[in-house]
Structure formats: structure tokens, C-alpha cells
Structure 1
Amino acid sequence: MLDIEDLKVAYGQIQAIKGISLHVDAGEVVTILGANGAGKTTLMRTISGLMKPQSGRIHFAGRDITRLEAHRIVRLGIGQSPEGRRVFGTLSVAENLLLGGFTRTHEEMHASREYVYRIFPRLHERRTQLAGTLSGGEQQMLAIGRALVTRPQLLLLDEPSLGLAPIIVRNIFQVLREIRETGVTILIMEQNARMALKLADRGYVLEVGRLQHEGSARQLLNSEDIQAAYLGGK
């Protein structure tokens, strides 16, 4: 579904992504692990069309999307829940979801919003509340829900556990398992390596703009290097 070839991305003279290649197959959950500054958010923003690479190629469902505008990429079937949630704080929960579904028909939007309310009942309870007054966990639910109303084939998640209490993180990852069962392919950038690898089929480890490890989730969980760097040892 997603194929990235020798991608390089820079901020001015600073090389953030240094020639990485990876793939995500339809129906998979793939995680990209890495510390702050590794390049995870830059990679996600580039896939989404919010940044343009220096070189390399990004193919989605067989189509070259490397230079496409972000709104066209959304229409093709890629939805993103960004780092930091980025909800519209002065708009209600329902209005945030409505904006997320701007590429869909009224009927599709209604069905998608009802689906989001079903998997995140708290959002239904808070649907008239301003998003800026929600808790961190509720805002993360809203950010994921806003991505889902685009009806994505590929869901991009950037640090969905960041700053959240462990019980909220477990709840969100359980919902991600349910989303996966509907056939949505998921690419998740995450510092919480243990939670991400328990959800994923495969994983990559990104360090300072380069992929240093890759393998099945089980292989990475059992790797001494990964345990020492990201899981606190055995």
C-alpha cells in the first residue's frame, strides 16, 4: 500500500531524513520507533504532503504521491492524527469531526461520525463541548476520530500515547486494534516501543534520520539492542 524509496528531507541545511526506504502492506500495522529528534514527525508530514522531500519517491496504492498537495493525498485515502493532537480548540467536538470529513459527502460524513462516536463513546458525550476544554486523552481520541472520518485506507498516527496516563494509553491502543479489524492499514510513529510493538506486525527503528533496525514485532521485542535502547532491558 505504501512504498517509500530512498527518501531525503531537509530543513534548510539540516538533513532530517537521510535516504530511507520502507514499505507498508495492505492490512498491516507497522510501527516506526525512535526518540525525539529521530525524524518520525518529519517522515509523517512528508507522507501527508505537508513537506516536500529533496529526493526519493513515495507511492501509495501504486500511485506516485511524492509531489501531491496534502488535500489531494487525503482524498486518495491517507488520514493523519498528528503529534500534539492539533484539535481546533475553539470549535466543538462535532465541528472538529465535520472539518475532518470535508472531502466526503454528507451521507458519508454522517456515517463516519457515527462510527467515531461508537468507538469513542466519550466523544459522543462531549460532542457539543469545545475541543480546547477536553482532557488530553479526549483530545487524542478526537484527533484519531478526525482522521477516521476521512475514511482512510491508511491511518497515520504520530505519538498517540504522548503525555497520556497509562490507562488512557491502553484504552486508545485497544481501539486501534478494533480499527485494524475493520481493514484499515496503520502506520504508527511512537516512542512507547512496548505498546507499539504489541500492536504491530512489523517495525522499523529510526535514529537521527536513518533506519537502523527492522523486523517483525516479535523480533524487535526480543532484540537485546532494542530492549536496551527502548524497553529498559529485559
Structure 2
Amino acid sequence: MLNLIFYKERESLKPKIADIHFSTRKRLKLLFPTHPLELETLIQKKETRGLLCYFVPDPSNEQISWLKYHSQYDPDLKIALFANEQFSLKAWQAGLIHFEPYPIMSSRIIFTFRKFCKQTEELGSSYSVRSPEGVFNLKTRDIHYIHAAGNYTLIHMRDDKTMVLTRQLGTYADLLETAPMFERVHRSLILNKSAVRECRDQKLHFFHSRKPLAISAALESKLKKILSFYG
């Protein structure tokens, strides 16, 4: 069962949300915490998985840090921020699944849910690669980027794991078609946009990785535009 958590401090959103029709196929449980401790207790439960819709017009730095922490370290919980428009960049930097500016319409809440469903289905898929050691099925969410290096390609994954293959970068076109979070952003680089934690100082930083990827100033500028429209 998936949980849809709608949080706004000191106000239950149940009267506004309860009549929205989300899905006929998925088993859903709607939850409406109204206090930070209530929310914290709820998401600390190991069985809690789903989407947290966090409503706050002007989030504080502390709230942004809280959202960033849980977005990074709670893999079964995805977070969408509903706030004033000027906080869109901070939402992206925090690695949230979606940002929606005020004023909020019910149609945009449904859009957020459907986006969550689509992305979680994509992230749960696998991608098969063939190497001299055999065929490996990699989880697409674990692939951070694929980088061309001469006659080889290097697949960089979470926890700084790397796989070296004798394939040209163009042979990964099927990955781009089946997993839209991947994009060929340079002739030598295919990037998992959902894995990017931060883009600054000519470096890409990834979730679940300590090793950033060095990039040019021109590519950094290009990626900031791409990433601002993703998520």
C-alpha cells in the first residue's frame, strides 16, 4: 500500500484533499499530519512508503534542510514541495521529486501524484548490459551516468561503483527511450537527471556518491538549464 501524506503545519488538509480522486488501480492510504513531531513519527515507521506533499508558503532554511535530508536518506519516501514560486531552485537543490508553486489547484496535486507514480515505476526498472563476465541486470535508479572514454564506456553507479564496457555511447539509445530520466547531455555523457544532487563549481554531485564528476563551465551552464526543468 502506498501512503499519500499531506502535511501543513497546524492545519489539516483532509477537507480539501479527501474528495480528490487519485487512482482506481493503486491501494492508497491518505494521511494528514498537522504537527512536525507527528510527521516525523509517521515517516520514521519502516513501513511508511509513498509520497509526502509538504505545504508551506515560505519554508525556512531548517525546513528545507529537513526535506533535503529525508529526500536523500529515505529511499521509499518521495517528497513534493508546495510553496511560493521563489523556492523552486531550493526544491531542486534538495533533490525533491517535484515543486509546485502557490496558488495550488487540485489538478496540480493530481499531476504531482501521477508524476510520482511514473518516476517510481521508472526507477524500479532494470537495464541489461553484456560484459565478458556475462549479462548484468542493473537497476536504472542505481546508474548515475555513462561516460565515454576512448573505445570504452564507464557506467558510474551509486556507492561509487564503476563498470567498464567495450561499447560506444550511442549503443545506449534504448536506455534513453525506456527511462526518460536519462539524457545524452554531451557527446561523451549520458546523465541520470534524477541522481544529481547538486551542480556547481564545474562539478556534478550525486546522491549516494562521494565522487563528483568534473565538467566544463559550458556544460555546467547547459545542465543548470536542463535540470531546472526536470523534477
TM-score, normalised by the number of residues in structure 1: 0.32
User: Could you say which structure has the larger radius of gyration?
Assistant: 2
Q: Give the structure with the larger helix fraction.
A: 1
Q: Give the structure with the larger strand fraction.
A: 2
